[in-house]
Each structure stands twice: as structure tokens, then as C-alpha cells.
A and B are shown apart, each in its own frame.
Chain A
Amino acid sequence: MAQLVRDSAIIKLTHGLNLKLLGSAPSLRLALPPSATFALKPVDVLGLEPIPRMLHQVGDTVLAGDPIFASKATPEVIFSAPVSGEIVEVRRGAKRAITEIVIEAGRHVDFRSFPKPRLESRDAIRQILLASGAWALLRQRPFNTFADPAVTPRDIFISCFDSAPLAPDSGFVMQGREEAFLAGLRALGALTAGNVHLGVAPNSIELFSRAGGAKVHTFDGPHPAGTVGVQIHHIAPIAKGDVVWTIKPQDVAIIGTLVTDGIFDARRTVALTGPELTRTGYVETRLGAAVAPFLIGNLKSERVRLISGNVLTGKKVQPVGHLGQFDDQFTVIEEGDQPEFLGWLLPSYPRPTLSRTFLSYFLSKREFAVNSNPHGEQRALVMTGEYERVVPMDLYPQHLIKAILFRDYDQMEGLGIYEVVEEDLALCEFACTSKQPVQRILREGLDWIRGEA
């Protein structure tokens, strides 16, 4: 067995909760019909205008990697087609904001060709990432916006395991993509003045430990140990003025293929999960895939909620919708729209919980079927210590949320708003007795501070 490289001792985290749900994906690839359409969703990209500048119109035929839309404020950042085909529709939402740009895929994928960069050259790699639209795969902290090309990040962080409920197994997903991943790591290394950091689980595959120049840190603990925000906090916390980038392992492989083969090959291995799917597993598809093929003969009932992403941070999608820009998971749960007689006193079915007032708490090995009922109504914050129980960081999340609610700029900064984004505090929203919309409050605070700066 090859020697595993670890750059530091195992970081043990105790706060958090692994939500064990029914419907995890077994390690096999499902043979599903390919998605007929793929979509880009500007709403998934934080920091982008509601109506970005369209670089192609409905009716145009595009190659995979052709630019589709660009940021008006930062015109060099373009977002490109994940497949080749014809742009069939531009869906709009409130105030004509663009929600989806739908491309009907051709029989096979035709790639636009980009000149391969001279490796290790920061400018050349920047050039190809921006030209191909692969730049969109990078996100920036604080705020989790798309990466600003004018800034050199202090470090780049990659979380190599996803601890969210029913999340894909990164070891299985990265099978066959090892060379691409390592090439992508090398390319990323040229873009930062500091280090590329990998956050891995104790039982991670050898690929991540081989690392190729990146620093490897092991995290042992329940969710949210796998979120990159928690890992950054323990490796090299973000201070005011710092800029770091984050990216997911599959997308690192996309960048790797780009720099070695000169094509934007937006492959995604997506985990189909959830208690309401008959068949769960993995599907080989591409960024922005239509979810319709996942549903054919696969739903246990009609009252379901389709989620692009996981149950904590994902977005609801319609059966005619598409996966989100950064999502590699699709979850289907039951809609909990039935009233429950005395449900707060005598729950009629077991549910995952952090509260010892339920017997379910003590059934820690059990996997739960879940639904979208919030089990109570929104109230003012009463209980304390709940949020801290699920945040493995030196941070007071409840006080941060309160500081955001009364817009105390200094307190928000001092309490670490630069260090967190929604996914890092999503478990607080799950656990909250008062059913406060923690993630929305945090996003409002982040947007407000970004505006004030």
C-alpha cells in the first residue's frame, strides 16, 4: 500500500450531526437515458447580475465550451455551454431575471477547441479558464461569489469529501479521473500565491493523498466536517481582506482535462438519492442536466419534492427542471403537507433529531425517511446552545445571526461573517427549535456587508 501523505495530524471535530437518511446511493452506475436538455442557471452564481449579458441567442447552435453569457460588471468572466446543441429557451423569473438558459443537446458532444496552455504559466492558465468558461467553477470566499479574476487568492481549498446527508462518495465519483484531477491540481497551484489545500476524510482514497504538491489535511467528524468553510477555519482562517478560492474535486478534474486536452468537458457524476426514489445510484451526465430521466419509473409517489443538491442546502426543482451549476447530487423526499394530530406531543413517525425529547435520538444507527414538514412554526429565538452544538468552529453562530438581524457591522465582522456561508450553518437551520431561516438571514447579512464594502 502506498504511503499516504498527511501534512498535519488528524483534526478531530465533535460538533455536528450526520443525518442518516434512507435512500443512499449504492456504488453503481445506473444506465439511464441521457438528458435531452441541459441548462445554465445564472441564479446559481452569486455576485452575478439578475440579467447577465447574453453572448448567444435562442436558436443559436453552440459547441461545448462556447460562451453563453457573461457578467456585466466583470466581462471577462463568461459562462459556457456544458454540451453542444441549440439554445431552445431562455426562462425568466421575477423582473425578467434570467433563471435558466436551456440547450437541447445533440446526439453527441462536439467540443470547442482551446489552445493548450504552457503548464505552470499563471497567465496562460488564467487565459484558458476564462476563455472556456471553466472559470465559473471557481468560487471565492468570503461571500461565495464567483472568483474575481483581478485578485490573486491567498490559498485554494478543496474539500475531498462531502459529509452532507446522502452525499456522493467522492472516492467512487473520482474513479477513472485521477490523471485529470492531478493535472487540475497542478494548474490551480499556479493560480495562487499560497497553497492548494485538500481536506480529506480519514478513510479517503489514495488519489487525494497523492496530492501532487497540495497540502493534505485530515478531518474526522460529523457533518459539517466536509464543508470547505469548516476546513478553511481549521487550516488557515479567512480574515478581513483575505480572498480564497474553493472548488469541488469533480470540477478540478474538468480543469485538468481542459489544460491537457484543450476542451471544456463538463462531466458530472451525479448521485441520485432519497427515500422516495425506487432506484438510487450514480449517473454519468454533465453540468446542468435535465432531471427528467432520473424520474422515469423511479418515483414512489406523486407528493414528492425534487431537490438539486442535498436536503440542507439544495434547491427545489420542477420535473422539467435542471440540476444546479455546482450540484452533484439529486435528492427526492416526500412533501410533508399533511397536518399531524398532536404531532408535537406524540410524533406519529420517527424522524432524525438532535433533541433527546425524542426516542429517535437514541436510534443513532437507523436511517430515516424524511419529509419537508418543518414540524412547528417560526418563533423568536428562545433556546441557546443549539446552533453551537452543530458548528465545529470557534464561532458563536446564534450571536452572529442576531448581529445580522440588527445590522451591527462591527459585530458581524468580529463574529466571523467572512468565515461562513450558508452551507456551513445549514445544520443550525435544521436544528433550530424556533425554525428561524438561518441560511437566508446569513445570505442577507453577507450581501449587505458586500454592499457596504
Chain B
Amino acid sequence: MKVFRGLLDQAKPHFTKGGKLEKFHYAYDAFETFLFVPGDTCTEGTHIKDGIDLKRTMFTVVFALLPCLLFGIWNVGHQHFAAAGEFPALAAGFVEKLLLGLTVVLPMVVVAYSVGLGIEFAFAIFRDHPVNEGFLVTGMLIPLIMPPTVPLWMVGLATAFAVVIGKEAFGGTGMNILNVALVARVFLFFAYPPYMAGDNVWISGDPSRFVDGYSGATPLAVAYSGGLAALDKSYSLETMFWGAIPGSIGETSVAAIGLGALILIGTGIGSWRIMLSVILGAAATGLLFQVTGIRPYSGVPPHYHLVMGSVLFAAVFMATDPVTAAQTQPGKYVYGLLIGISGMVIRVLNPAYPEGWMLAILLMNVFAPLIDHGFISANMKRRNARALQ
């Protein structure tokens, strides 16, 4: 601790008024306030404040993402080896799978954080305000929603696009309308579609290594064409629950997502209302499709729908972003339900998009202010009615 204080104090004169690096003051400030909560005191308003701050909040979300990250690292390795017929059993080759997964995922995490934080630092210096903590979570989310085979330069490009256009153009942390991580993904989805969808992108490694006939099809792809019958042949409910299936890096394991959800709800950081409504909306729509016998996904029951694809990851980590979600309490239920419904509609009925949550959440991000407006207006009407009494 004294080491850090000493280093910081040595560097400080360069970054304060009159120092050579005065312009980069907020870059220094970001490191100083990361290591030490400043010894400021309340100058106005309340004389005491709650211990919670944005750094602790963001850290809690990153902590909740760790199960998905760790499982995802292992799963990337598992899919890689299983496709080539090596270590097909779950318990086999644990270390090899982990190491391979690290070589795929860790560079993505590094690229996302360096590009994103680099841009955030640049904007902070240019606009002369402190570096805000919002990207600490986005930088972890971006790799988790990417397929394992996406090239690193694409991750970097998408992060840059998302931070500049999706966030800083609106005014930075707290001002964005669209979920920043989803903007990154949707950018790649529309700019480089063959790298983001299809059967070939979910398993890392040279496809010529694959065992004959091994398909990298996700459960969604299988269920889309063959319905419940085909699904039961390839993936059991149990496998889909634990998550040893092809898919984006962090989204496959219901167990890992569930652990993350418990952390977010238990600490009060993530809105359980949004998570619950998304799941209910999706399940209800899935049930509707099942009983009406819609052709794709025919016969697939709602609980199967929930363990396939990215619906749970989206519900727990993406829809709950407080800045872009509905901000009124009743609004959160409406917002979540509409995400659940529209995401399922896109997944099942739309032939062009295999999965719907990225688009559903971005769409409802745009509608969130309108949803809130409805409830705010109702509040104002109630106030007027009380006044007339």
C-alpha cells in the first residue's frame, strides 16, 4: 500500500497545475482513485454518504460475470477438442481445454478492455472530466457475447465503434440510449455476418480437424430445422442446462448464468423485475408457439427455449443495464415483458435472424423512455386528481 502511495505521490506533480503532463490529469486521476478512495470530504448537502459507489457497483457485475467467463473459457476448449474427437468426455482433458480456452478468450478480453478504456481515457482527457467506470462491465460483456472464432481485430473495431458511436457520442456513461456491448455485437452482425452467424463460427480451431460429419450447429440451429425431434437426438436438456454446447463464449451455461443472477439479485445491483419479466415474456411466447404448432421449432416447449441460445444471458446481464432499461419500477415489468416477447418472435418467426435478443433489447432500449413516459404521465395525473379533491 505504501508502495503505491509513494509512486502516486511521486508522479502527482507532473499531472497537477503547472506540470508537464497537466493535460493528462484525469488519466492519472483514474489510477489514483482506483487505488485509493480520495480523502475528500462532503462539501455540500449531506455530511455522510453511503459506501456504495459506481466502482463497487461495476465490480460486482464483473464478479457476477466470472462464472460465465470461467465456464466459457473451459467450454471453448471443450468444443474445440470434442469436434476433433479428442477428449470427448466432459471430465477429460480439463487442463488442456482450459488452456486452449484461455488462448482464445483472454486475448479478446485484453483487446476489448484496451481499446475501450483507451478510447474512454482519450475522451476524458479531451473533454476534461474524470474517467467514468461504465466500461469496466462493457469490456467484460463484449467478449462473452462473441463467437469464439471472431478475429481479434474485429473485436477491437466493434469495441471502438460501440464506445464512440454508442456511448461517447451521447455524452458518455449514464447518457447512452443503446446497450453498449450490444452495439458492438450488432455492428459486427451487420458488417461481417459470416463471422457472427451460421454453423461454422461456434467452434474454434481448423474445421478440417473436425471428425467426419461433426457439425458445429448450435441447439438453436438444430431445433430450427428439425424441431423437438431433431433436438432430442443431438442435445439433451441436461447438456443444454450445464452448457457444454456450441454458442457464444459466455452464454451457454444456465448454471453459470444462474449463479451470476443470484449474485446480482442478492446484492441488489441487478433488477430481478427485468430478469423475471424477460423470462416470463419469452416463456409465454414460446408456449404460444408450441401450442399453435408453428413450423420452425415445432413442438419445442418453453423450458427448452429458455436453455437454448442467449435468452438467459440477455435477461440477466444485458436487459438489466440500468442506464438503457426502463427507469420506473412498473416500467421495468413492461420493458422486460416486451423484450421477452419480441426476442422470441424474432427467434422463431424471422428466417433471417437465428437469435433475437440482441435486436429485441436494442429495440426496447429505444422504447424504454416511452414506457417510462407512460408511467410518469400516470403519476402526474394522479397528482392532479389529488389536487382536485
Contacts and interface: CB of A to CB of B under 8 A. Distances in A.
Contact of B329 (A338, A382, A388, A435): A388
Given A340-B36, A384-B327, A357 B54 contact: no
A314 interface: yes
B206 interface: no
A259 B293 CA distance: 83
Interface string A45-58: 00000000000000
Interface in B76-122: none
Given A373-B39, A381-B174, A356 B266 contact: yes
Interface-centre pick from A305, A340, A376, A434 (highest chain B CB count, 10 A): A376
A333 B48 contact: yes
Nearest to A436: B45
A437 B49 contact: no
Contact of B45 (A358, A377, A396, A438): A438
- Give chain B's interface residue range (CB within 8 Å of chain A): 35 or more
A380 B56 contact: no
A430 interface: yes
B134 interface: yes
Contacts of B60: 357
Majority secondary structure, A binding face? loop
Interface in A1-53: 19
Contacts of A345: 55-56, 59
Interface stretch (B15-23, B237-245, B380-388): B380-388
Given A311-B47, A339-B37, A379-B132, A353 B52 contact: yes
B49 A374 contact: yes
Nearest to B263: A357
Contact of B36 (A19, A341, A430): A341
Interface string A185-210: 00000000000000000000000000
B47 A314 contact: yes
B132 A339 contact: no
B54 to A, nearest CB: 5
B40 A379 contact: no
B37 A385 contact: no
Given A337-B41, A339-B39, A373-B37, A347 B51 contact: yes
A399 B380 CA distance: 12
A380 B44 contact: no
A99 interface: no
A426 interface: yes
Contacts of B327: 384-385, 398-399
B41 A377 contact: no
Interface in A337-382: 337-345, 347, 351-358, 360, 370-377, 379-382
A103 B383 CA distance: 46
Majority secondary structure, B binding face? loop
B269 to A, nearest CB: 7
A54 to B, nearest CB: 28
A372 B42 contact: yes
A338 B39 contact: yes
Contacts of A384: 322, 325, 327
A441 to B, nearest CB: 9
A311 B48 contact: yes
B200 interface: no
Interface in A233-251: 237, 239-240, 242
Interface-centre pick from B39, B45, B379, B383 (highest chain A CB count, 10 A): B45
Interface in B1-45: 1, 4-5, 33, 35-42, 44-45
Contact of B53 (A240, A385, A435): A435
A396 B54 contact: no
Given A344-B53, A398-B327, A373 B40 contact: yes
A414 B133 CA distance: 33
A353 B47 CA distance: 14
Contact of B379 (A347, A377, A415, A437): A415
A394 B37 contact: no
Nearest to A373: B41
B290 interface: no
B292 interface: no
A292 interface: no
Interface string B124-147: 000000101110000000000000
Contacts of B46: 311-313, 426, 429-430, 439
Nearest to A402: B327
B63 to A, nearest CB: 9
A383 B57 contact: yes
Contact of A375 (B53, B171, B323, B384): B53
B322 A383 contact: yes
A437 B173 contact: no
Given A305-B47, A354-B50, A415-B380, A339 B38 contact: yes
9 contacts: A313-B46, A336-B41, A337-B39, A352-B48, A353-B50, A355-B52, A377-B53, A384-B322, A430-B46
Given A331-B47, A340-B37, A416-B383, 11 more contacts: A338-B39, A342-B37, A343-B37, A352-B50, A353-B51, A357-B52, A357-B268, A360-B51, A382-B173, A396-B328, A432-B50
Interface of A: 19, 237, 239-240, 242, 305, 307, 311-314, 316, 331, 333, 335-345, 347, 351-358, 360, 370-377, 379-385, 388, 394-396, 398-399, 411, 414-416, 426, 429-435, 437-440
Instruction: For the complex of A and B, list the 3 residue pairs with the smallest distance between their C-beta atoms, beginning with the closest.
Output: A376-B53, A380-B174, A239-B387
